[in-house]
Amino acid sequence: MAARSRALTEEEAAEWARFAHRVAPVRGRKVVAPPDPATDVPVPRPRVKEAGGAAVSRAVPLGIGGQPPGVDTATWQRFRRGQLSSVRKLDLHGMTAQHAFLALRAFLRTAQADRVRCVEIVTGRGNPDGGGVLRRELPLWLNLPEIRPLVLAASHPYASNAMYSHAANPGSVRLLLRRPRA
Query: What is the C-alpha separation between 43 and 97, in angstroms, rounded?
Result: 30
Higher pLDDT, 125 or 149: 149
Domain ranges (residues) in the chain: 64-177
Instruction: List strand residue ranges (DSSP E) for the chain, in order.
Output: 47-49, 55-57, 88-91, 118-122, 151-155, 172-177
Nearest to 11, CA basis, from 40, 48, 38, 34: 40
Query: What is the C-alpha separation between 167 and 49, in angstroms, rounded?
Result: 41
Contact 47, 62 (CB under 8 A): no
Residue 133 scores a pLDDT above 70: yes
Structural class in CATH, domain 64-177: alpha beta
Contact 120, 165 (CB under 8 A): no
Give the per-residue pLDDT at 173. 86
Residue 21 scores a pLDDT above 50: yes
Q: Is pTM beyond 0.85 here?
A: no
Average pLDDT over residues 161-169: 47
The predicted-structure confidence for 58-100, as pLDDT tens digits, reads as follows 567 777 877 777 788 888 888 888 788 888 999 988 888 899 9
Higher pLDDT, 91 or 41: 91
Average pLDDT over residues 158-181: 66
Contact 172, 123 (CB under 8 A): yes
How confident is residue 3, by pLDDT bands cut at 50, 70 and 90?
Answer: low
